[in-house]
A and B are shown apart, each in its own frame.
Chain A
Amino acid sequence: MFGYYVALALRSLRRSRVLTALMILAIGLGIGASMTMLTVLHVMSGDPLPGRSAQLYAPQLDPRPLQRAKPGQTASHGMPEGFTWPDAMNLLRAHRADRQAAMASGQVPVRPTGTTLHPFFERGQYVTADFFPMFGTPFRAGSGWASQEDDEHARVVVLNAGLARKLFGATPAIGRTMQLKNTDFRVIGVLDDWHPQPAFYAQGNDHAYGRDDEFFLPLSTALELKLDITGNFSCWGNGGDGRSSDHCTWLQFWVQLDSSAKARAYHDFLADYWRDQQAHGRFPRPANVQLPRLMDWLAQQQMIPGDLRLQLWLALGFRGVCMLNIVGLLLAKFLRRGGEVSVRRALGARRRDIFAQFGIESAVICLAGGMLGFALAELGLWSVRQRPDGYAQLAHMDIAMLLGTFALAVGASVLAGLLPAWRACRIAPALQLKTQ
């Protein structure tokens, strides 16, 4: 019976080609637009470190004075975006988490030696030793450094694969020397193209998408050499604006806590630290420690641009209009065939047979529309990738997203086809046949 209905549907569709083409086009456009935007949002709200993110926490302290009315300098959730140098070092030395690291973003001139390349600026991170094991960075060769080298302000650097290739070509980079802003650094590790998206470890803003950090060197070394940092550097009071001042927030701090019991213990430790600092005349605000997990922290930072959300809603609205159109067109098409329905009913077809026949016909149209929609979505994603925004390069469809959205889209379209089919199967055959 199913095969017969499909054959009937194809025959009926062939009879009115223009109408069929219009319906398929409408479904295709609706599905294509919404799938494009859903995919973009899906890749942007993905987990940057799958498997590890549940154990990573971003502690938040607030060392600022009570009066601070200047808007725009705090994150949206009311906490400062960073740590001061003394606080980060205290937490680092306390060593109360399984792993902990402080970090800051920077940009330094690279002077290639022995090649014809001109000097160029490169972005990277100044980090402490635990950064590499904590985030599970994949090493192509070599390794990170130990905390001893942090204390010694060692001139060592870990490169990402892109910069290593640019500087040293195919030859192994380990043990080679490179010059960063007048200082020689020894390459001790090469990462395997590590680009988590978003780059959560840097300050949370919309630059976090598509950013590629090409080198990692010890934070203490960067401080000693006064290498340039990028990102927010916010100071208050009259304590000067030196980097090691306790009046300036500019560092990021991440900890790894392997169980929720440890997370609670660390939360208490932070609250104790806050009160301890209050005893020393710092941290005038009431203790309000935050310890969000990585994914919660990303949600707090609201990294997904508002424009994108708006575009998603517009695309979904457009899809809704397309669906309404389909319902209208199918209704017109089915009701026009009242004669055919009546004859089949008179010959013994039950209502549910008629319903199945028309349901299958609308499903065939929706499937064809879904295929077209998928092609249009790929086209849409390609056009998104041409945009200059950092997140644009991420816009690729993965299998789960593909199947999920496709099923959702076709399912919704089939549902839209049910109303016309239901209406058609309620045609009174006697009345129709009499008027013919």
Chain B
Amino acid sequence: MKLHPVLASLTRHRLTVLLLVLQVTFTCAIVCNVAFMIAQRIERMQQPSGLAER
């Protein structure tokens, strides 16, 4: 596969590329953070209480 035409088209539309990169970056950052926070919460909620709850 030739990469050159792909990269060339990317350099032609700089603004669009910048926008897309920003979108993906921010979305990734927020989604990853939230996912880890939710995982931490669930972990904390499932700590054994030491009582026979059921």
* Known A-B contacts A328-B16, A331-B16, A423-B15; A318 and B23 likewise in contact (beta carbons under 8 Å): no
Within 8 A of B (CB), among A310-359: 310, 314, 317-318, 320-321, 324-325, 327-328, 331-332
Tell me if B22 counts as interface (CB < 8 A to partner A): yes
A-B contact pairs, 21 of them (CB 8 A): A310-B37, A314-B30, A314-B33, A314-B34, A317-B29, A317-B30, A318-B30, A320-B26, A321-B23, A321-B27, A321-B30, A324-B19, A324-B26, A325-B23, A327-B19, A328-B16, A328-B19, A328-B23, A331-B16, A331-B19, A332-B16
Specify which chain B residues have a CB less than 8 angstroms from the CB of A331 in the assembled complex: 15-16, 19
Given contacts A317-B29, A324-B19, A331-B19, 15 further A-B contacts (CB under 8 A): A318-B30, A320-B26, A321-B23, A321-B26, A321-B27, A321-B30, A324-B26, A327-B19, A328-B19, A328-B20, A328-B23, A331-B15, A331-B16, A332-B16, A423-B15
Specify which chain B residues have a CB less than 8 angstroms from the CB of A423 in the assembled complex: 15
Q: Is the CB of A324 within 8 A of B23?
A: yes
Could you mark each residue 416-436 of chain A with 1 if its beta carbon is under 8 Å from any beta carbon of chain B, else 0?
A: 000000010000000000000
Nearest CB in chain B to that of A318: its residue? B30
Specify which chain B residues have a CB less than 8 angstroms from the CB of A325 in the assembled complex: 23
Chain B interface mostly: helix
Nearest Cβ in chain B — how far from A160, in angstroms?
36
Which B residues form the contact surface with A (CB < 8 A)? Answer: 15-16, 19-20, 22-23, 26-27, 29-30, 33-34, 37
State in angstroms the CA–CA spacing of A324 and B17 once bound together: 12
Q: Is the CB of B26 within 8 A of A317?
A: yes
State in angstroms the CA–CA spacing of A320 and B37 once bound together: 20
Specify which chain A residues have a CB less than 8 angstroms from the CB of B37 in the assembled complex: 310
Nearest Cβ in chain A — how far from B54, in angstroms?
22
Nearest CB in chain A to that of B15: its residue? A423
Which of A314, A320, A321 gathers the greatest number of chain B CB atoms within 10 Å? Answer: A321
State in angstroms the CA–CA spacing of A328 and B16 once bound together: 7
State in angstroms the CA–CA spacing of A327 and B33 once bound together: 24
Nearest Cβ in chain B — how far from A185, in angstroms?
40
Nearest CB in chain A to that of B33: its residue? A314
Within 8 A of B (CB), among A266-320: 310, 314, 317-318, 320
- Which A-B residue pairs are the 7 nearest by beta carbons? A324-B23, A328-B19, A317-B30, A321-B26, A321-B27, A324-B22, A327-B19
Specify which chain A residues have a CB less than 8 angstroms from the CB of B23 in the assembled complex: 321, 324-325, 328
Specify which chain B residues have a CB less than 8 angstroms from the CB of A327 in the assembled complex: 19
State in angstroms the CA–CA spacing of A314 and B37 once bound together: 11
Nearest Cβ in chain A — how far from B15, in angstroms?
7
Nearest Cβ in chain B — how far from A387, in angstroms?
15
Specify which chain B residues have a CB less than 8 angstroms from the CB of A317 in the assembled complex: 26, 29-30
State in angstroms the CA–CA spacing of A423 and B16 once bound together: 11
Nearest CB in chain A to that of B29: its residue? A317
Specify which chain A residues have a CB less than 8 angstroms from the CB of B22 in the assembled complex: 324
Nearest CB in chain B to that of A325: its residue? B23
Specify which chain A residues have a CB less than 8 angstroms from the CB of B16 in the assembled complex: 328, 331-332
Nearest Cβ in chain B — how far from A37, in angstroms?
14
Nearest Cβ in chain B — how far from A34, in angstroms?
13
Nearest Cβ in chain B — how far from A418, in angstroms?
13
State in angstroms the CA–CA spacing of A325 and B26 once bound together: 11
State in angstroms the CA–CA spacing of A317 and B37 once bound together: 15
Specify which chain A residues have a CB less than 8 angstroms from the CB of B29 in the assembled complex: 317
Nearest Cβ in chain B — how far from A368, in angstroms?
22
State in angstroms the CA–CA spacing of A320 and B22 once bound together: 10
State in angstroms the CA–CA spacing of A324 and B23 once bound together: 6
